[in-house]
């Protein structure tokens, strides 16, 4: 069977709910990995999403952060927070999706920004927030490496808050070593690639300069002054079965849009 997996930083599920439900109905991915839901788990809008046939695993947080997994198949073996990482913020959730004749493990991750939300594209200062980002990446890499010891397909989708290559930003010269395009951040991200995880969009679209995030300020979306900081990564076993990956910019054609676009892949199981 072939299934569709999407990842999307919705930037508040309640604020974007109407547009999100339309997208969910029209796109109908079997699995959705959400970031920045910005609500506690109890207040997540479960009913209208369940009406569309989804089970849910939610790791929420009031006002900030929060991640979730939606699936048309049963969700099992749920993990909240990265193992061996003391984190007060809800940034990682993982689960096993029980398909009719197989299983696939998925994770939704929201890597820390490294500064305030207004700092993207600004010069880096060595701050506690930036160190938190580096520590989070380290634990994410350790966990992802451990997962490769298991004989299973593993998909990690989310907002990684780093653009990896020059083609992933609108102006690589002016943005060099700024937040979300800093060499230290790229080094941490590339650890995941070097251990065997595939960046699905880039692997299947090697010359495509599409972005996944645009600042709300400065008419950035219309001017296409963006960054590609949202990814779907696949373990080697999963990578062999990927058939497509795209960034769904049409999802932003709504009145109350997120500042991120969904990334969607298809995989044969």
- 228 token code pair: 């590609």
- 128 token code pair: 């506690």
Report CA Rg, the chain: 17
Q: Could you read off the pLDDT tens digit of each residue along the chain, which spans 269 residues? A: 999 999 999 999 999 999 999 999 999 999 999 999 999 999 999 999 999 999 999 999 999 999 999 999 999 999 999 999 999 999 999 999 999 999 999 999 999 999 854 355 555 665 689 999 999 999 999 999 999 999 899 999 999 999 999 999 999 999 999 999 999 999 999 999 999 999 999 999 999 999 999 999 999 999 999 999 999 999 999 999 999 999 999 999 998 999 999 999 999 98
Nearest partner of 90 among 101, 100, 82, 98, judged by Cα: 82
Domain residue limits at 185:
2-268
Domain count, the chain: 1
Number of neighbours of residue 172 by Cβ within 10 angstroms: 13
Distances (CA, A) of 49 to 46, 89, 110: 5, 24, 21
What CATH number has the domain bearing residue 150?
3.60.10.10
Q: How far is CA 152 from the centre of its chain?
A: 20
Between 183-194 and 128-147, two packed helices, what is the crossing angle to 10 degrees? Answer: 10
Distance CA 31, CA 264 (A): 10
- Enter the pTM of the model: 0.96
């Amino acid at each position: 069977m072939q299934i569709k997996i999407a990842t999307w930083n919705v930037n508040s599920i309640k604020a974007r709910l109407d547009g999100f439900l339309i997208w969910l109905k029209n796109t109908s991915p079997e699995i959705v990995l959400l970031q920045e839901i910005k609500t506690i788990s109890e207040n997540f809008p479960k009913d209208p999403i369940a009406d569309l046939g989804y089970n849910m695993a939610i790791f929420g947080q009031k006002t900030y952060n929060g991640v979730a997994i939606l699936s048309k198949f049963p969700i099992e073996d749920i993990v909240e927070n990265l193992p061996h990482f003391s984190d007060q913020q809800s940034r990682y959730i993982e689960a096993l999706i029980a398909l009719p004749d197989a299983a696939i493990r998925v994770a939704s991750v929201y890597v820390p920004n490294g500064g305030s939300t207004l700092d993207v594209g600004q010069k880096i200062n060595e701050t506690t927030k930036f160190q938190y980002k580096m520590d989070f990446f380290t634990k994410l890499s350790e966990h992802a490496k451990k997962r490769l010891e298991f004989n299973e397909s593993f998909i990690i989708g989310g907002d990684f808050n780093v653009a990896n290559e020059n083609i992933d930003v609108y102006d690589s010269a002016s943005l060099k070593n700024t937040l979300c395009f800093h060499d230290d951040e790229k080094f941490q991200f590339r650890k995941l690639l070097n251990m065997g995880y595939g960046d699905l969009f880039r692997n299947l679209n090697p010359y495509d300069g599409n972005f996944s995030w645009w600042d709300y300020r400065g008419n950035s979306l219309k001017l296409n002054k963006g960054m590609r900081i949202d990814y779907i990564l696949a373990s080697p076993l999963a990578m062999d079965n990927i058939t497509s990956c795209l960034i769904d910019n049409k999802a932003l054609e709504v009145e109350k849009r997120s500042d991120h676009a969904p990334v969607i892949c298809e995989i044969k199981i």
